Amino acid sequence: MSTEKKVWTHNEPLFWSLFGAGGVVTGFFTPILVLIVGLAVPLGLLSDKTMAYDRILAFAQNPFGGLILFFILTLSLWHCAHRIFHGMHDLGFHPGAWTRIFTYGLALIGTAFVGVSLVVL
């Protein structure tokens, strides 16, 4: 019979674990992705053909490629949502349920968009 206080009255470990996984993924992948997609291609340093529709479509349609895209994008979003949410507390705003819904919600929406997109492709 339980006479002790319940330990898990919150779900922080879930968000922290997503934050951790996302931190690893974003730590390794973001620099090169931003460099290529955000700078090298737009600046014309790499051929336009690298980001051609057919090429990227084929990558996203590939089950392996699609999975990679899914995890890199969504885990990074969960990582950032967690940090932004807790950052609100640091800044002096006392983030309530709505802030949590907003930040993690954006990550969830992003996850949904990516997931649905990749399934559809």
Partner 1 sequence: MSQKTIILNIQRYSPEKGTPPSKERFEVPYSDDMSVLDALHYVKDELDPSLAYRWSCRMAVCGSCGVVINGKPNLSCQTFLRDLLPGPVSVAPLQNFPIEKDLVIDQEGFLEKLEAMKPYIIDAMEAKPAAKPPETIQVGEYKQMPAQLEMFKQYTMCINCLLCYSACPQFGLNPQFAGPAALALGHRYNEDNRDFGRTEREVEMQKKDGVWSCTFVGQCSVVCPKSVDPAAAIQQEKAAGSMSWAASLFMPKGEVNSES
Partner 2 sequence: MSRNPYQPKMARRWYLSTPAFRAYTVREASSLFIGLWYLNLVCGVTSLVKGAASWDSWLALQTHPLMMLFSVVTLLLALYHSTTWFSMTPRVMPPRIAGMNVNQPLMVAAHWLGLAAVSIIVFVATLWGVSS
Site for partner 2, rule CB under 8 A: 20, 23-24, 26-39, 41-43, 46-47, 49-51, 53, 55-57, 60, 69, 73, 76-77, 79-81, 83-84, 86-87, 90-92, 106-107, 110, 113-114, 117-118, 120-121
Q: Which residue has the tokens 């700078």?
A: 39
Contact yes or no for 99/93 (Cβ under 8 A): yes
84 binds, among partner 2, partner 1, none (CB under 5 to 8 A by kind): partner 2
How far apart, in whole angstroms, are the C-alpha atoms of residue 103 and residue 21?
17
Contact yes or no for 69/60 (Cβ under 8 A): yes
Three-state SS string over 42-82 comes to CCCCCCHHHHCHHHHHHHHHCHHHHHHHHHHHHHHHHHHHH
9 binds, among partner 1, partner 2, none (CB under 5 to 8 A by kind): partner 1
Kindly write out the interface string for residues 37-76 of this chain, putting x where it contacts partner 1 by CB under 8 A and - elsewhere: ----------------------------------------
**Binding residues for partner 1 (CB under 8 A):** 1-14, 16-17, 86, 89-90, 92
